[in-house]
Amino acid sequence: MTRSTTTTLSRIHHFIDGGETAGSGDITRPVYNPATGKVTGELSLANRADLDATVSAARKAAETWGNISLARRTAVLFKFRELVAAHVDDLAALITAEHGKVLSDAKGEIGRGLEVIEYACGVPTLLKGDYSDQVSTGIDVFSFREPLGVVAGITPFNFPVMVPLWMAPMAIATGNAFILKPSERDPSPSLLLARLWKEAGLPDGVFQVLHGGKETVEGLLTHPDVDGISFVGSTPIAQYVHETATKHGKRVQALGGAKNHAMILPDADLDNAADHLAAAAFGSAGQRCMAISVAVAVGDAADALVAKVRERAEAVQVSNGTEPGADMGPVITPASKERIVKIVSEAEAAGAAVMVDGRELVVPGHEEGFWVGPTVIDHVTTGMRAYTEEIFGPVLVVVRVDTLEDGISLINANPYGNGTAIFTASGAAARKFQRSVDVGMIGINVPLPVPVAYHSFGGWKASLFGDKHIYGPEGVSFYTRGKVITSRWPEAKDASGASYNFPSN
């Protein structure tokens, strides 16, 4: 973070209480285009006064929005859905300019976000309660759900539109005010979302964007008027977010990191498996929490699989995400590139075989960009950092095992439990796999098993802190609290009959 002195860069502001504002903080941070390495914007960071103003506006808005009819809420959501769909190209351009992913990939993440908006449009049905008539003589019991109040979403750089749309529509549909703290690396898409919410008719203060670093995150985790926290990011930070916010009395869902394995059996269609492994490992430069970063090659599948994956990795077109035909863009920062290169070099020094090497990739015309090419490392062992750490780059490591059972044991020994996949022609093997792995999301001949919007997304073990997954039915549950009412309306002649005994039916 630096104190800015330039006046030539575009300023990226907060969106507080219905409008864009620079806030009162005087600290800024540069925003880069990872494909060119050039600074393209200057981001205003919040101070404590900005944080307090945002939470105060959210608290005031929540008191009204939570009591607005479901019909009015759904009208706003339907309108917001149409506006997002109409601005896909604009949102994708902002994503590519600040994240680096190719335009088609950016449009794909927006599409998955739209699915969650569409699910949230059904909130009248999602919030239906239960009613039990005559549980005892003249007594009925019914239940319904109410919003938490003010909730904050702290989101990562890798999906600057999709992850906020996994959170905000669910929170807003269920009657909460939502504060988005996006990544400082690609903040501009969040401001366009804020403008679209306002255009859809959402009252001021119900959706706000607050930019900031560690101090802002800490402020949201501890602020007494914030009732819930949704977080997606690395496992160490997810654990810290969960522990800190829970200690301060907040409901928390904190989704952490991953080391997603795909097991390939000898009976699999290896061409199909190689196609999907390459796409899942190198798409978005591997900067996905659901990226496949470990190929578990079983028995005789290994040599042929590595050869086919190598062929596909070498064919990936790496370029500026705006270029026609680009398959993959840069990684997000020079520090990220340096870390990826170091991990690959350590694996090579420890005896792994680098079959495809992207460490020295240069893209002509974009020599200052943050480039790492597709990389395939064979004969990786479980003690290497290339296996134990989430690399978050375009690196696929291959671990060889003898049997299906060995592969399952390998996956279950890993501390993460986000996503996994199996490629096989055997229904029996697939069923054994799905019932045996300690992982929250499983693909069978599907490499990126991201659930559709009417299911919920989330892993197990070190990939999730808290008991509620994101969006879907568990998203509704997370952003609401249940009330149960026991009701009796006796006629005058039946009004007596109170007892000192514990009530029963």
* pLDDT level of residue 498 (50, 70, 90 thresholds): confident
pLDDT at site 496 = 67
Phi–psi pair at 438, nearest 5 degrees: -90, 65
The 10 Å Cβ neighbour count of residue 194 is 23
Pairwise CA distance, residues 393 & 202, whole Å: 38
Give the residue extent of every domain in the chain.
10-255, 260-444
Pairwise CA distance, residues 9 & 40, whole Å: 6
pLDDT at site 4 = 41
pLDDT at 3 over 60: no
pLDDT at site 504 = 73
With residues binned 3-state (H G I as helix, E B as strand, rest as coil), the percentages for the chain, rounded to 5, are 40, 25, 40
**How far apart, in Å, are the Cα atoms of 389 and each of 258, 284, 332, 340?**
9, 18, 18, 11
Q: 121 an active-site residue? A: no
CA angle 99, 103, 108 (to 5 degrees): 95
> How many Cα neighbours within 13 Å face the side chain of 231?
33
pLDDT at 10 over 90: no
- pLDDT digits 0-9 by tens, 250-303: 999 999 999 999 999 999 999 999 999 999 999 999 999 999 999 999 999 999
* pLDDT level of residue 1 (50, 70, 90 thresholds): very low
* pLDDT level of residue 484 (50, 70, 90 thresholds): very high
pLDDT at 5 over 70: no
**Residue holding tokens 């979302």?**
193
Contact status, residue 422 vs residue 263, Cβ threshold 8 Å: yes
Select from 290, 281, 271, 266 the least CA-distant residue to 377: 281
pLDDT at site 2 = 44
Pairwise CA distance, residues 392 & 445, whole Å: 23
Computed over its alpha carbons, how large is the radius of gyration of the chain?
A: 25
pLDDT at 492 over 90: no
Dihedral over alpha carbons 397, 276, 422, 297 (to 10 degrees): -40
- pLDDT digits 0-9 by tens, 353-375: 999 999 999 999 999 999 999 99
pLDDT at site 7 = 45
pLDDT at 503 over 80: no
- pLDDT digits 0-9 by tens, 36-73: 999 999 999 999 999 999 999 999 999 999 999 999 99
Select from 440, 347, 331, 429 the least CA-distant residue to 385: 347
pLDDT at 97 over 80: yes
More confident residue, 236 or 496: 236
Pairwise CA distance, residues 234 & 245, whole Å: 16
- pLDDT digits 0-9 by tens, 372-385: 999 999 999 999 99
pLDDT at 418 over 60: yes
Task: Say which of 289, 343, 386, 430 is annotated catalytic.
Answer: 289
Beta strands in 148-196 (DSSP E): 150-154, 177-181
Specify the fold of 10-255: Aldehyde Dehydrogenase; Chain A, domain 1 (3.40.605)
Across residues 296-317, what is the average pLDDT? 98
Select from 354, 336, 334, 335 the least CA-distant residue to 344: 354
pLDDT at site 505 = 66
How many helices and strands in the chain, by DSSP H and E? Answer: 16, 23
More confident residue, 492 or 275: 275
pLDDT at site 310 = 98
Pairwise CA distance, residues 408 & 263, whole Å: 9
Specify the fold of 260-444: Aldehyde Dehydrogenase; Chain A, domain 2 (3.40.309)
Contact status, residue 92 vs residue 106, Cβ threshold 8 Å: yes
pLDDT above 70 coverage of the chain, percent: 98
Across residues 186-192, what is the average pLDDT? 98
Which residues touch 96 (CB under 8 Å, ≥6 apart)? Answer: 102, 103, 106, 321, 322, 329
pLDDT at site 495 = 66
Mean pLDDT (the chain, rounded):
96
Q: Measure the N-to-C terminal CA separation of the chain; round to a whole number of Å.
A: 64
Select from 27, 20, 24 the least CA-distant residue to 3: 27
pLDDT at site 493 = 75
Pairwise CA distance, residues 71 & 68, whole Å: 8
Both structure tokens of 3? 């104190």
More confident residue, 3 or 499: 499
Pairwise CA distance, residues 449 & 447, whole Å: 6
Pairwise CA distance, residues 142 & 484, whole Å: 6
Pairwise CA distance, residues 487 & 480, whole Å: 22
Amino acid identity, residue 219?
G
pLDDT at 24 over 60: yes
